[in-house]
Structure 1
Amino acid sequence: MKGKNMNLKEVNLREIYKKWKNNLGEFRCFFRSTSFVSLQTYDDFILENYKNEPNKEIITKIIDEYNEEDFILVDLPLDEILDLSLELNNNYFIKPILNINLLFHPFGIVGSKNNISKLINTGIKLNEVKSQKYVMLIPYDRYNEELDVKKIYDKLNNQYAVTDEDFPNPDILKRLGYNRIVVFTKDNVKEDLMNYIDCFKNEISVKIVRVEK
Structure 2
Amino acid sequence: MSQYGVIGGVALLLAGATVGSLIYLDGQPAAPATVAQSTAIPAPTARAPMPVASAPAGKAPAGVPAASARSARHELFPSRDFREGQADGITVHYTQADPSLLGQLQQDQVLELALPGRAEPMRAQLVSTHNADGLEVWEARLLDGSPMESLTIVRGRLDTHISVATLQGSVSLVVDNASGQTVITDENALASRSDPHTDHVDAQPAALPPLPPPAQS
TM-score after normalising by structure 1: 0.23
More strand by share: 2
Higher helix fraction: Structure 1 or Structure 2? 1
> Which structure: larger Rg?
2
TM-score between both structures, scaled by the size of structure 2: 0.23
